[in-house]
Amino acid sequence: MTAYVIGHITVKDADKWAEYRSQVPETLAPWGAELVLRGTRMAVLSGRHSHSDTVVIRFPDSESVAKWYNSAAYQKLIPLRTQAADVDLISYEGA
C-alpha cells in the first residue's frame, strides 16, 4: 500500500533550511519516493495549525518510508534539519 510522509514545518533559519531542502531529494531517490507537495500555509480553515509550511512525500510502501528515514543519508541531514526548522514528520498509509 502507498505510504506518505507529511512534514509540518516552521523555519527558524532560512539559509540552513534551503541547504537542507536541497539535499533531501537525493535521499529519496533510492526508495522510489516522490515529492507531491511543498507549500506555504494560506489559511487555517478549521482548528489550529501552528506551522507555516508543509511537505508531502509519496513512497511505494511503509517499508520504504522506514528505510528512507533510517538511511545513513537521511540521518546525516537530521542535525541540519533541527538547526533549520521545527519539523513534525508523520507517516501514513493510504491510497
Report which residue type is found at 37: L
Question: Residue 95: its pLDDT value, please?
Answer: 80
Confidence of residue 81 (pLDDT cuts 50, 70, 90): very high
Nine-digit cell at 25? 531529494
Phi, psi of 93 (to 5 degrees): -105, 145
> C-alpha cell of 52?
507555516
Q: How confident is the model at residue 76 (pLDDT cuts 50, 70, 90)?
A: very high
Angstrom distances, CA of residue 53 to CA of 66, 72, 76: 23, 25, 22
Query: Using CA atoms, how far apart are residues 35 and 2, in angstroms rounded to an integer?
Result: 13
Q: What is the pTM of this model?
A: 0.92
- 30-72 pLDDT, tens digit per residue, is 999 999 999 999 999 999 999 999 999 999 999 999 999 999 9
Give the CATH number for residue 10. 3.30.70.100
The set of cell numbers assigned to 14 is 532560512
Average pLDDT of span 74-95:
97
Per the structure, the complete domain to which residue 72 belongs is given by 3-93
The number of distinct structural domains making up the chain is 1
